[in-house]
């Protein structure tokens, strides 16, 4: 297990989510609806729904919103959403994975391609960058959940593989197939997590200089602004100094 590591990808994404709470709730609702439509409204008997609800609660989504999304999916009156993964390269050769839930494949493909083209990137074929990532479970806790040692101990007991702690919180990783069991065990020890979901974790990170970093973050922001895009992952490493400069630019 690692004691701490970089939070730039996760915290940039979190910052965007905090700034656009209503859009985040819409995307969380869509995932809950799809999960309920596919596997039923029983949270305990539907692992995907349980994770979706847990993630929504961690983002302080109101209970009424969560229940409405479940009812919509279980009632069968929701749109037919298709899950699509797009892959490509951003500025500086950064590998980017985009997960989409859409009721219009042509619209999503056009919008995602436009985001890449307008922001110095190139949309590739499926599988063109996924081999640079591992599919894992990611569980995020706020700093208030405990100190680094306490989180590490709880993660080990729960069967997690890795812990990265920093001033913004704790990121716990586990095998993709173990995310349900590990998150349940952690909840008993640490309480409700801020986020619980499967992610694409970069195997290695690529350094990005100041010149490319600004354009890369614009690409990620543009993708996350799209209503069909659920998640964006990238293998960038931007130094604290460059991130500070971009924040004050």
CATH number at residue 225: 3.30.70.980
Q: Are 144 and 178 in the same domain?
A: yes
User: What pLDDT is attached to residue 162?
Assistant: 92
- Helix extents (H) in 88-138: 105-118
Q: Are 114 and 208 in the same domain?
A: yes
User: What pLDDT is attached to residue 211?
Assistant: 87
Q: What angle do CA 246, 59, 48 make, to 5 degrees?
A: 115
Q: Are 42 and 136 in the same domain?
A: no
Q: Are 159 and 171 in the same domain?
A: yes
Please choose, from the candidates 118, 96, 120, the residue with its C-alpha nearest in 3D space to the C-alpha of residue 212: 120
DSSP state of 142: -
Q: Residue 163 is part of which domain span?
A: 132-202
144 domain-assigned? yes
Please give the Cα distance from 179 to 201 (Å, whole number): 14
pTM value is: 0.86
Q: Are 29 and 69 in the same domain?
A: yes
Bridge partners, residue 101, by sequence: 83
Q: What angle do CA 48, 53, 56 make, to 5 degrees?
A: 125
Whether 37 and 74 have beta carbons less than 8 Å apart is answered as yes
Compute and round to an integer the Cα radius of gyration of the chain: 18
- Cβ-count burial 87-97 (b if 16+ within 10 Å, e if not): bbbbbbebbbb
226 domain-assigned? yes
User: What pLDDT is attached to residue 80?
Assistant: 87
Instruction: Among 202, 220, 243, identify where a domain stops.
Output: 202
Question: Who contacts 65 (Cβ-Cβ below 8 Å, separation ≥6)?
Answer: 25, 29, 56
Instruction: Among 32, 51, 74, identify where a domain stops.
Output: 74
User: What pLDDT is attached to residue 100?
Assistant: 96
Q: Are 24 and 113 in the same domain?
A: no
Please give the Cα distance from 241 to 235 (Å, whole number): 18
User: What pLDDT is attached to residue 238?
Assistant: 86
Total domains present in the chain: 3
User: What pLDDT is attached to residue 3?
Assistant: 35
Per-residue pLDDT 10s for the chain (249 aa) are: 443 334 555 555 555 555 577 788 899 999 999 999 999 999 989 989 998 998 898 888 999 999 999 999 988 777 889 999 999 999 999 999 999 999 999 999 999 999 999 999 999 999 999 999 999 999 999 999 999 999 999 999 999 999 999 888 999 999 999 998 999 999 999 998 988 889 999 999 999 888 899 999 999 999 999 999 999 999 998 887 887 777 776
Please choose, from the candidates 202, 203, 161, the residue with its C-alpha nearest in 3D space to the C-alpha of residue 178: 161
User: What pLDDT is attached to residue 8?
Assistant: 53
Please give the Cα distance from 185 to 139 (Å, whole number): 12
101 domain-assigned? yes
User: What pLDDT is attached to residue 17?
Assistant: 56
* Crossing angle (nearest 10°) for helices 21-39 and 47-58: 160
User: What pLDDT is attached to residue 58?
Assistant: 83
């Amino acid at each position: 297990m690692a004691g701490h590591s970089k939070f730039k990808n996760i915290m940039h994404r979190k910052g965007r989510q905090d700034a656009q709470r209503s859009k985040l709730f819409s995307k969380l609702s869509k995932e809950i609806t799809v999960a309920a439509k596919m596997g039923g409204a029983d949270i305990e008997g539907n692992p995907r729904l349980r994770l979706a609800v847990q993630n929504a609660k961690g983002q302080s989504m109101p209970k009424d919103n969560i229940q409405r999304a479940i009812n919509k999916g279980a009632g069968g009156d929701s749109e037919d959403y298709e899950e699509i993964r797009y892959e490509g390269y951003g500025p500086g050769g950064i590998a980017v994975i985009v997960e989409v839930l859409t009721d219009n494949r042509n619209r999503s493909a056009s919008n995602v391609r436009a985001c890449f083209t307008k922001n110095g990137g190139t949309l590739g074929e499926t599988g063109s960058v996924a081999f640079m990532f591992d599919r894992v479970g990611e569980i995020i806790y706020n700093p208030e959940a405990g100190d680094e040692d306490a989180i590490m101990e709880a993660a080990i007991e729960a069967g997690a593989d890795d812990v990265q702690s920093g001033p913004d919180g704790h990121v716990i990783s586990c095998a993709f197939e173990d995310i349900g069991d590990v998150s349940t065990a952690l909840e008993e020890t640490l309480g409700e997590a801020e986020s619980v979901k499967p992610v694409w974790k970069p195997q290695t990170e690529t350094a990005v200089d100041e010149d490319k970093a600004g354009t890369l973050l614009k690409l990620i922001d543009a993708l996350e602004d799209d209503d069909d895009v659920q998640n964006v992952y990238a293998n960038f490493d931007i130094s604290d100094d460059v991130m500070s400069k971009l924040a004050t630019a």
